[in-house]
Structure 1
Amino acid sequence: MARDTAVTRQKLLGAARQEFAALGVAGARVDRIAELAGVNKERVYGHFGSKEGLFAATVSAAMDELAEEVGKPGDDIAAWVGSVYDFHRERPELLRLLLWEALSCGGGELPGEQRRAEGYALKVDVLAGRLGVEPGPRAAVVLLSLIGLAAWPNAVPQLTRLILDSRLESADSAEVVRGVVVELATGLVKGVHETGTAE
């Protein structure tokens, strides 16, 4: 019975990821999610309470997947940034979910915000240690900037296409973007490390 419940929950989360990534919270339909998952619509409410509860669980599951696959910054921070870029390129749903979340939640508190904030605080501490700087606001902005470098080209693929397509002949734009993102991350990390050790 517990296994069936877990399987149903996973099916619903998978279906919800597709629906919410495409249509956001307002546009998603619980009956379509249930149909895609192959379960009764009432199961959504039984497992998640509401469409908003399902959306929060979907974002949380996608964030957990990113954390498991990419982890925290290691010794080679630029390589970590490359891994974040690869994750978002291969699975752009998380970025879409985060953009929809920003639109629907505005500046209000997010579901599971404390847990997510703690995860980022840990990443800031690890990054600060790797850079040899204090784990304060400066290190937090560096983490935000590194994530932005890795995520932005995949969050707005239309902008990436508009800027790059006329400048590329046969090269794969994703390879070019990834290479420059890692190069910029390397320079940023080097600059922060040098500035931090000089203070």
Structure 2
Amino acid sequence: MAGSTETTKRRLLDAARAEFSSYGIAGARVNRIAERAGVNKERIYGHFDSKEGLFRAVVAEAMSELVREVRPGEGSVGDYVGRVFDYHRNDPTLLRLLMFEGLQDGHLGTTGASDTSGRAAWYSLAASSLAKNADCSEEDSGRLLLTLIGLGAWPLVMPQLSRLCLETNGEAADLAALKDFIVLFAERGAGAGPAPKEA
């Protein structure tokens, strides 16, 4: 019975990941998730309590995958940006989930459908380890992390903007060249930091 329960849960998570990354939490339908998973929709509530609970579980699982692959404490800040870029280029699902979460939750500081405490702890550790690699103050470590994530992820979050900025003479954008550029940009810029404030 336990195997059957875990199999059902796995199928629901897989179906929900596809649904939420396509439609967001507001547009996702539990009927479609259940149908895709081949189970009764009541199983969603039995395993996850609500559609929001299922969304939280999907985001948590996707974040765990990112953490295993991207490893911010290894290598330079440029290496980190390159890993962020490659990860999201190979699988944009997490970016889509986070964009929909942002649309749902609205403004910075709200939590809405997501429980972000575990993610915040991970980001804090990631920021500290990157700050050490970049000779950045602890005070600026969160700003550094956010900037590096933006460098690595933004071109993939906004593919139409990337095409408009990078495609010339009808040729497709060279994403390998873009990655090389942002890695070098991160390496050069991360150690510079802001100018000291005058007293």
Superposition TM-score, scaled by structure 1 size: 0.89
From the superposition, tell whether residues 118 and 168 of structure 1 become closer, same or farther in structure 2 (CA, over 3 Å): farther
Structure 1 unaligned segments of length 5 or more: list them.
Answer: none
Whether contact under 8 Å (2:12, 2:33) holds in the other structure is yes
Structure 2 unaligned segments of length 5 or more: list them.
Answer: none
Does 1:125 pair with 2:128? yes
Does 1:134 pair with 2:137? yes
RMSD of aligned residue pairs (Cα, Å): 1.9
1:159 matched residue in structure 2 = 161
1:51 matched residue in structure 2 = 51
Instruction: Report runs of 4+ in structure 1 exceeding 4 Å deviation.
Output: none
Alignment of 1:60-75 (within 5 A): 60-75=60-75
1:150 matched residue in structure 2 = 152
Does 1:180 pair with 2:166? no
Secondary structure of 1:135's partner? Answer: coil
**CA deviation after TM superposition for structure 1 residue 95, in Å:** 0.6
Q: Greater helix percent: which structure?
A: 1
Distance 2:2 2:81 in 1: 38
1:114 matched residue in structure 2 = 117
Whether contact under 8 Å (2:63, 2:94) holds in the other structure is yes
Superposition TM-score, scaled by structure 2 size: 0.89
Distance 1:53 1:9 in 2: 13
| Total equivalences in the alignment | 193
Distance 2:162 2:30 in 1: 33
Letter in 2 for 1:169: E
Distance 1:125 1:71 in 2: 12
CA offset digits 1:132-170 (Å, max 9, x no partner): 33322x121011000000000111111111222225736
Percent of aligned pairs with the same residue? 44
